[in-house]
Amino acid sequence: MSASGSGAATPDIDAFTRPYWDAAAEGRLLLRRCRACARPHHYPREFCPYCWSEDVDWERASGRATLYTWSVVHRNDLPPFGARVPYVAAVVDLAEGPRMMTEVVDCEESGLGVGMELRVAFRRGEGTEMVPVFRPARQSSSGTS
């Protein structure tokens, strides 16, 4: 993420990451999968972090995850996050295997629990891009938060 002139955090989008952000705009979460060792990974990289092969492809993720850990952020002085406090910063285990840093939305702090089932949703970021977030699976994952 980088800071734009307005002070808002925006994703660093280049020719390599453009497919990821284009898919998010369409409500799809993408991963990278290595054709050499068959392991998926996230965040998007141009090489496999396991075997270092550059033979990697984009793959649509199921959007299912479980909550690994989280922290409720009550204070954040960095724009634009300060305007959203409190929020749940989280690490989730994607059904395909990789872990992903994200935000859990539409869930009270008391409802959070390790291993809870989550589904991807998309929220318009502070810039113009749609950003993947997760909500409890018992709720509909359609639309944005």
Q: What is the pLDDT of residue 139?
A: 65
Residue 71 C-beta-side C-alpha neighbours within 13 Å? 5
> Residues 46, 55: contact at Cβ < 8 Å?
no
pLDDT of residue 10: 58
Q: What is the pTM of this model?
A: 0.84
User: What pLDDT, on a 0 to 100 scale, did the predictor assign at position 82?
Assistant: 77
Residue 61: Cβ-neighbour burial (10 angstroms; 0-12, 13-18, 19+): buried
The rounded average pLDDT for each run of 10 residues, N- to C-terminus, in the chain (145 residues) is 42 88 96 97 94 97 98 88 88 97 95 97 83 87 46
Q: How much is the pLDDT for 48? A: 97
